[in-house]
């Protein structure tokens, strides 16, 4: 079930205001997208393939620049500060971390070495690193069991957990999560989304989750936006969107 919306301060955690993203100076991928993530909220960004979900997340995290694209219009603010065009590693230190689609891990490194790489990005000291690792292992017990295993030899679900765990090692305020359910068994998907909900509730971490699986996303979100052809086609409380048949059939092709 969708969670109750927490009290929202006057200043949002993330504000995306009427952004336009252009690839190679000519291809319009996102046109006039606006959305807000409040402090301590989980927001679902829904839509079919090609709707602009991943591009929107990359615009927020700064990774869009690596795809020869740029935010050509609009504003992106994190905790009230403009961040459009800021390098991804600097944004990570400010509290925005992006878990890319496809479970990107360092396959030749062990599970624990992958996790430590997130702590290195944050500049954690030795004691802080060890404490952070224990927190991740408490959230993902399966990773503790596999801590010495080469990451490339773990299952798809374990790699997704590892990607999220590594992101959490940076001690973020906002996690951008791109298609976490892709290619995973339903039981594993539920497990990952349950952990996301628990992290949100207990740690106050905000999540912006791009997802095609509307049912699972809206069960764990407070609010949702539906993208269609690079534009926001619908938005509302998660429970309200979940009850709308037109969202399932028209926008997502269910």
Longest dimension (CA), the chain: 52
In this prediction, residue 246 carries a pLDDT of 83
> Are both 61 and 77 inside the same structural domain?
yes
Q: What is the pLDDT at residue 49?
A: 87
Say whether both 72 and 177 belong to one domain: yes
Instruction: Please count the structural domains in the chain.
Output: 2
Q: Which of 152, 171, 190 is the last residue of a domain?
A: 171
Q: Are residues 110 and 189 in the same domain?
A: no
Closest listed residue to residue 226, CA positions, set 192, 249, 193, 205:
249
Residue 57's pLDDT is: 97
Q: Which residues contact 234 (CB under 8 A, 6 or more apart)?
A: 225, 226, 241, 244, 247, 251
Q: Domain containing 166: what range? A: 106-171
Whether 111 is covered by a domain: the verdict is yes
Among residues 156, 171, 186, which one ends one of the domains? 171
In a domain, 101, yes or no: no
Q: What is the pLDDT of residue 127?
A: 93
pLDDT at 10: 43
Q: Does residue 57 lie within any of the structural domains?
A: yes
- Identify the domain boundary among 122, 142, 171: 171
Q: What's the CA gap between 223 and 242, in Å, rounded? A: 10
Q: Rounded CA gap, 37 and 83, in Å?
A: 15
Residue 153 and residue 30 share a domain: no
100 falls within a domain? no
Q: What is the pLDDT of residues 209-234, one digit of tens each?
A: 999 889 999 999 999 999 999 999 99
Residues 9 and 121 in one domain: no
* 89 and 1 both lie in a single domain: yes
Nearest-5° Cα angle at 164, 88 to 57: 45
Per-residue pLDDT tens listing for the chain (254 residues): 445 554 443 469 999 999 999 998 888 899 999 999 999 999 999 998 889 999 999 999 999 988 889 999 999 999 999 999 899 999 998 999 999 998 789 999 999 999 999 988 888 889 999 999 999 999 999 999 999 999 999 999 999 999 999 999 999 999 999 999 998 999 999 999 999 999 999 999 999 999 988 999 999 999 999 999 999 999 999 999 999 888 877 666 54
How many Cβ atoms sit within 10 Å of the Cβ of residue 76?
22
- Spatial separation of the C-alpha atoms in residues 217 and 199, rounded to whole Å: 15
pLDDT value at residue 248: 74
pLDDT reported for residue 9: 38
* 88 plus 192 within the same structural domain: yes
User: How would DSSP label each residue in the chain?
Assistant: -PPPPPP--SS-SEEEEEEEEEETTTEEEEEEEEEEE-TT-EEEEE--TTSSHHHHHHHHHTGGGGGTEEEEEEEEEETTEE-TT--HHHHHHHTEEEE-TT----TTSBHHHHHHHHHHHHT--HHHHHHHHHHHHHH-HHHHHTTTSBGGGS-HHHHHHHHHHHHHTT--SEEEEE-TTTT--HHHHHHHHHHHHHHHHHH--EEEEEES-HHHHHHH-SEEEEEETTEEEEEEEHHHHHT-HHIIIIIS--
* Structure-block tokens of residue 98: 């992006």
Residues 118, 227, single domain; the answer is no
Residues 176 and 254 in one domain: yes
Per-residue tokens: 60: 């927020």
Pair (24, 61) in one structural domain:
yes
Residues 178, 247: one domain? yes
Q: What pLDDT shows up at residue 27?
A: 86
């Amino acid at each position: 079930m969708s969670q109750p919306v927490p009290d929202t301060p006057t200043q949002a955690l993330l504000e995306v205001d009427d952004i336009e993203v252009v690839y190679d100076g000519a291809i319009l991928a996102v046109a006039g997208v606006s959305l807000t993530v409040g402090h301590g909220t989980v927001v679902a960004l829904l839509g079919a393939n090609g709707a602009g979900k991943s591009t929107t997340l990359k615009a927020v995290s700064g990774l869009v620049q690596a795809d020869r694209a740029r935010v050509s219009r609009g504003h992106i603010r994190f905790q009230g500060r403009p961040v459009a065009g800021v390098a991804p590693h600097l944004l990570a230190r400010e509290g925005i971390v992006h878990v890319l689609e496809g479970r990107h891990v360092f396959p030749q490194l062990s599970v624990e070495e992958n996790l430590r790489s997130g702590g290195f990005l944050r500049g954690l000291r030795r004691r802080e690193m060890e404490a952070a690792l224990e927190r991740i292992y408490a959230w993902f017990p399966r990773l503790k069991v596999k801590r010495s295993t080469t990451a490339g030899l773990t299952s798809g679900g374990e790699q997704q957990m590892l990607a999220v765990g590594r992101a959490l090692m940076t001690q973020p305020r906002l996690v951008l999560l791109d298609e976490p359910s892709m290619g995973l068994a339903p039981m594993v998907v539920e497990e990952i989304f349950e952990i996301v909900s628990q992290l949100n509730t207990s740690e106050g971490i905000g999540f912006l989750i791009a997802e095609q699986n509307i049912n699972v996303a809206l069960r764990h979100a407070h609010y949702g936006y539906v993208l269609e052809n690079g534009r926001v086609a619908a938005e509302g409380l998660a429970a309200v969107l979940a009850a709308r048949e037109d969202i399932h059939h028209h926008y997502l092709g269910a």
